[in-house]
Homo-oligomer: A and B are copies of this chain.
Amino acid sequence: MRQIEGGVTAAKGFEAAAAAAQIKYKDRTDMALVYSEAPCRAAGTFTSNLVKAACVKWDMEIVRSGKDVHAVIVNSGIANACTGEEGFRCCEETADAAAAALAIPADSVLVGSTGVIGMQLPMDRIRAGVSALAKAKGATAEHGTAAAQAIMTTDTVKKEIAVTFELGGKEVTLGGMTKGSGMIHPNMCTMLGFLTTDAAISKEMLQKALSADVQDTYNMISVDGDTSTNDTLILLANGLAGNPEITEENEDYRTFLRALNYVNTYLARKMAGDGEGATALLTAKVIRAQTKEQAVTLSRSIITSNLTKAMIFGHDANFGRVLCAMGYSGASFDPDRVDLTFESAAGSIRIAENGRGIPFDEEEAKKILSEEEVIIVADIKMGDAQATAWGCDLTYDYVKINADYRS
């Protein structure tokens, strides 16, 4: 497997576009298209929030029906959540507009939305945006990057990646883009993510691969503990690579899964590190756990604790907050056996042994905690399972961004 330039347009047959449709923002693009002339099998995972955006409901219907998919239309201004039947009609009308502009069936169009909850979409602008997208689409890396930029909200960097690997003697490509930033605490999947591949793989195996991998990637990140109404992750496969179709859990399936995990881990970490207002990526690794589930619960509790997050912002090696967050997680373990180590590009420092603080060099700890990624390793000495979760620090800017988001 090899990482290459590009994102959603890296795989054969995929095109993309961006448009400035003024849904909410001025002077920037806020609509994106991902398109494949060749029909795609689609897998998806969606928010577990009981309050689901209209577009999530729309996509769930199409993905579950098993119909071929040709296009995804995304807007980053309005979430189309809590919008009732009118909101669902907006999804239909968006799909109709895309169907007309691209000469494809309306039920082969997925829609994604992120932004303000509770407002209706301005359909005239959406329709104008869809036409502009259809005209602007293309298969270059630049087209993919433009789409990755158009789906950003409070994100500060675009998030895209592509890899190639071999399946049955054929070169296969998998690429993707995501947006994250706030209201990020995926449960079943994440905020908006769109992955494209030219691999030939059955609909069933495609969904199986995606559903399995989100557990270790997007479901292990959190910015603020708020599970969005709009979380959507779509994986489209158009089969143009010409590899022998994957229809069972064979060696090719495992190769595909490794590539998918690489792409999803990259994008998930990017989303966590670019959380709203974040200055650092906070990685929590729980090792020597009895079970994976226990390690998952403990590592997630560390990265979601406001106090741990504020401590990272302050570069303050306060081990008690980490142990405290583990203690209230609900997972069972022996606090008196836990060793805690902080790691980063600047080095590694042990700050607690067997549940008690040990003397350490405060200056060195501050240096280690001042890097762009800080890793907390908790050794709980119970077995050989482990898990890693990713979050970010809690900063003034997080409060600023969210205290006045609508205006």
Contact = CB atoms under 8 A, between A and B. Distances in A.
Interface of A: 48-52, 79, 81-84, 116-119, 182-183, 185, 187, 224-229, 304-307, 310-311, 313-314, 316, 318-321, 323-328, 332-333, 335-336, 352, 354-357, 394-396, 398-400, 402-407
A50 B332 contact: yes
Contact of A321 (B117, B328, B355): B117
A276 to B, nearest CB: 10
Please give the count of copies of this chain that the complex contains. Answer: 2
Contacts of A407: 316
A400 B406 contact: no
B399 A395 contact: yes
Question: Which secondary structure dominates where chain A touches chain B?
Answer: loop
Contact of A310 (B79, B310, B402): B402
Contacts of A51: 323-324, 326-328, 335, 355
B229 A320 contact: yes
Nearest to A116: B320
A396 B396 CA distance: 5
Contacts of A403: 310-311, 313-314, 316, 395
* Cβ-closest 9 pairs across A and B: A117-B320, A314-B403, A51-B327, A310-B402, A227-B328, A118-B357, A49-B327, A118-B320, A50-B327
A75 to B, nearest CB: 16
26 contacts: A50-B332, A50-B335, A51-B323, A51-B326, A51-B327, A51-B335, A81-B324, A84-B355, A116-B318, A117-B318, A117-B320, A118-B318, A118-B357, A182-B307, A187-B328, A225-B305, A225-B306, A226-B321, A228-B324, A229-B324, A306-B398, A306-B402, A314-B405, A394-B402, A395-B399, A396-B400
